[in-house]
Chains A and B, each alone.
Chain A
Amino acid sequence: MVTKALTTIITIIVGVGAALIVYWILNKLAELLPERLEDRIKPYLYILPAFLGIVVYLVYPAVLTVINSFRGPISQNWVGFANFTTLFKSHDFQQTLINTLLWIIIVPAVTIVIGLTVATLSDRLRPGAEKLTKTIIFLPMAISLIGAATIWRFVYDAEPAGQNQIGLLNAVGQLFNKGPVDWLSTDNFHLNSLLLMVILLWSQVGFSMVLLSAAVKGVPVDTLEAARIDGANERQIFFRVIVPQIRGTIVTVFITVTITVMKIFDVVYVNTNGGFNTNVLGNQFYNEISTNLNYGAASAIVVILMIAVAPLMWYQVRHFKSEEAA
């Protein structure tokens, strides 16, 4: 354990030190140049490592992925659209798409509803109680989704009938003389997918609550006063005064959560690995590169993901531009 601790410390120092040295060298190099040239080159040197990182890890792979999506399993021969047609014709993949769509439809919306509920209601508590409430809801954000899966196992677990149930849901069922249900393998009405979504909700609602709470507190008091003087009740004030003013934040949270959900992997991978009709794009992608070793199909899935994300990306960039202009 001691040697492990020492090597860990050394690894950290080496990694961090290397990064510092790179900038020191870049700066020294720039200083060797004549002054006028130095001023012109320096900005580019300062952004160079950042740009390299983005080009190597996002731009270049994105281009290669598009190319590979038209090639065979080990990316050697051209196959045209075969990867896509095989995927879309496969019944399993159709189900995967439907499941992913369900996640996209349900999770962002519910995240915002619960987040906004907690944000608005807790705003009325005393400061101490408000802080405690928010911390409790926010806490799961610090827990990895694989940790969350371990935690929720004690909610969804099913033991054979007649035995003591150690999962919370089935134990409650037992109280009412209901037989155990194997929750995560029940796909009637996509029940198991919904239960997996609950795990993600548990983890992500805090994020939406924090952002929405800040936005709710930022609503100018005079607009609330004006509405109250005009005789609006609390519900009208909420829907007609508060919500329109925090629309920007709601959209931001919605987009962020939607992107998270499109890429969802951990929750499904560790709980069911896509079995019992719970598969989603992210998990199928991992299966293609780890079990099936079909890089063509994996690339095609990522291309589908990119096409789905593109409108959001367009929105985000446009949004950013308008913010700059303001």
Chain B
Amino acid sequence: MAATTQPVPAPVEDTQAKVKRSPAHFDRNPAKAGWFTKITLAVICVLWMIPLLGTFLTSFRSLDDVQSSGWWTLFTKPSSIARLTLSNYDKAITGGADMGRDFFNSLAIALPATFIPILIAAFAAYAFTFMEFWGRDVLFLTIVSMLVVPNYVAFVPILKLYRTLGMNGTFAAVWLAHIGFGMSLAIYILRNYMATLPKTVIESAKIDGASHYQTFFKLVLPMSVPALASFAIFQFLWVWNDLLVALVFIGPGDNEPVTVGLTHLKTQLGQGWELTTAGGFVTMILPLVVFLALQRFFVRGLTAGAVKG
């Protein structure tokens, strides 16, 4: 009776119910996850996790097992489960690879290289947000434009500079480099955040006789904690996971961080698979914990910085 080509949304008897449901019908996701959605996401998630799971299991297997069979044999031949061992970790951390030492070095590099840039950037962001001075906008624009200058420009000139100063291989050499490299982004993010703080609060502090120094430490810093936290996580992960800067300015040796340690664990002990997996997890454990514990701040920081634009 009705024109067959016209799509009929719902049987007539349903109309009444549909009208009632309409507010819910218009929520964000009228199309709740169907089969297609669920399967696609499940496949992607499994693909994403398999490599990590395989490496994790491998890190507990003996050298013989690793070389003679894939990690999935743990599931197909349960007998090999009995041979799982912690000895890879033992060797990787305390043995010749000395990843335990590297772990402390990474801490000594990453913590100051996270804290110092934030302090410096926060001071600058404060000045750019709450102080009036000649050339403010030009200076700020210069900083923002440095965001995309590849830090590769720095390696050769700074390497030479460090050589003259005898700074190569020191922690300070890497701290300073990360301060320079991370500064533009840090100022950009923190200034954007500080610009959203209520100006009246800062002005009334001024009227009450607070100096800029006091306002900064007692008022603006505590109010900026969300932005500081998210940038801190970002910078910490970046520095901890960095290979190039550490390779160029510190290199292999007593001060090497975990990334450098893992690199020459891979090249020196080419066959030592069981050590590279354990070593790999020594490099990953802290960033993973930080990430999982503070994911909320990290996501908030990322989105605050970019989504608006």
Task: Name A residues whose Cβ lies closer than 8 Å to a Cβ of B.
Answer: 1, 4-5, 7-8, 11-12, 15-16, 19-20, 23, 27, 40, 42-44, 46-47, 49-51, 53-54, 56-62, 64-65, 68, 114, 117-118, 121-126, 129, 133, 135-147, 149-155, 164-168, 171, 202, 207, 210-211, 214-215, 217-218, 221, 224-225, 228, 234, 248-249, 252-253, 256, 259, 262-263, 265-266, 269-270, 282, 285-286, 289-290, 295, 298-299, 301-302, 305-306, 309, 312-313, 316-317, 319-321, 323
Contacts and interface: CB of A to CB of B under 8 A. Distances in A.
Nearest to B281: A147
Contact of B155 (A142, A202, A210, A289): A289
Given A15-B111, A46-B131, A121-B37, 17 more contacts: A50-B143, A53-B183, A61-B157, A142-B292, A143-B241, A146-B283, A147-B280, A154-B51, A154-B55, A166-B70, A168-B50, A168-B72, A211-B307, A265-B243, A305-B152, A317-B145, A320-B141
B54 A147 contact: no
B266 A270 contact: yes
Contact of B259 (A4, A144, A154, A218): A144
Contacts of A215: 307
A167 B273 CA distance: 12
A166 to B, nearest CB: 5
Contacts of A171: 70, 72
18 contacts: A12-B108, A12-B111, A19-B116, A51-B124, A65-B156, A125-B41, A135-B295, A136-B49, A137-B48, A139-B288, A141-B237, A142-B291, A147-B284, A168-B70, A214-B299, A215-B307, A299-B156, A313-B149
B153 interface: yes
Interface string B117-147: 1011101101110011100100101011111
The 6 closest A-B pairs by CB, nearest first: A57-B180, A15-B112, A144-B241, A142-B291, A50-B124, A46-B127
Interface stretch (B12-20, B24-32, B82-90): B24-32
Contacts of A285: 152, 155
Contacts of B127: 42-43, 46-47
A58 B153 CA distance: 7
B159 to A, nearest CB: 7
B154 A61 contact: yes
Nearest to B300: A214
A320 B188 CA distance: 10
B302 to A, nearest CB: 6
Interface of B: 26-33, 37-38, 40-41, 44-45, 48-52, 54-55, 58, 66-72, 100-101, 104-105, 107-108, 111-112, 115-117, 119-121, 123-124, 126-128, 131-133, 136, 139, 141, 143-159, 171-172, 175-177, 179-181, 183-184, 187, 212-213, 237, 240-244, 247-248, 259, 262-263, 266, 273, 276-277, 279-280, 283-284, 287-288, 290-292, 295, 299, 302-303, 306-309
